[in-house]
Structure 1
Amino acid sequence: MAIQTINCRKISRGHVKGNIIISKDPLSFLGGVDPDTGIVTDREHDLYQQNIGGKILVIPSGKGSTVGSYVIFQMAKNKTAPLAIIAMEAEPIIATGAIMASIPMVDQPEEDVLEILKEGNLVEVDADTGIIEILK
């Protein structure tokens, strides 16, 4: 049973459950994340040296070059990609990457998930219906 349900806008279809990794900084996948390992390499980012692979990534938005979409796609092929992406505001780079890589993605949550969610929370992202359920 969910502790809390949050409605969002659907970006890329899919349904997953996992632990979150959260950042208050926008993330650039091109030059900011190693697609071979899933580790954040941007020294200025608050997730520096942390692995985003296999977790539900919560960010305010993406940033950077359009090539970032292909980095996300490469991460999916390498099995180093996030399980899902929750953004306050999806911009075209990360949205396109999530769609190309078949990574569930939602944005525009009805509540400020950057304040509500905590590192390691277990959440279920249903990007088919646009719902996040906080499980613990």
Structure 2
Amino acid sequence: MILKGRAISKGYAKAELLVSKKPFSFLGGVDREGNIIDKDSDLYGESLKGKIFAFPYGKGSTVGSYVIYDLAKRGILKGIINLECEPIVATGAILGGIPLVDKIDIYKLKNHSIVILDGYKGEVRYEGSG
């Protein structure tokens, strides 16, 4: 299955998918090691390490851009998929050099599947279940 969206940040990643049905704030939502620490998150206790993270849209402080940048530069976060990207998330992904695609119906995505995120074509391709 291929889902077509809009490329925001160029790049290419193949990894396990982690899907949140709720908006996400990187400032206070995740620790430096990539663990989701926001107790209101539907993914509380999960890890972003080595994963592509899908969520509807970002929320919160502009410091969230730096958190995304840090997670990306240290190889923890591999890519982002949004329903509707906003500037905080876009800035972090671009600075961090990870692919980001939006205009994807994240409610069709399956947690722990293996996907290819193509930030050049704006596509999400399923490889199989995780």
TM-score normalised according to structure 2 size: 0.93
**Cα RMSD (Å):** 1.1
Q: Distance in 1 between matches of 2:92 and 2:22?
A: 18
Give unpaired runs (5+ residues) of structure 2.
Answer: none
How many pairs does the alignment contain? 128
Picking from 113, 121, 132, the partner of 2:106 is: 113
Could you list the structure 1 runs, at least 4 aligned residues long, displaced by more than 2 angstroms after superposition: 76-80
In structure 2, the residue matched to 1:39 is 35
Match of 2:65 among 64, 69, 81: 69
Task: Report % sequence identity.
Answer: 45
What letter corresponds to residue 87 of structure 1 in structure 2? N
Secondary structure in structure 2 of the residue aligned to 1:16: strand
The amino acid across from 2:112 in the alignment is G
1:75 deviates by 1.5
Could you say which structure has the higher strand fraction? 2
Structure 1 unaligned regions, length at least 5: none
CA separation in 1, counterparts of 2:92 and 2:99? 11
> Which residue is equivalent to 2:127?
135
After TM superposition, the score normalised by the length of structure 1 is: 0.89
Report the CA distance between 1:113 and its aligned residue: 2.8
8 Å contact 2:72–2:93 — kept in the other structure?
no
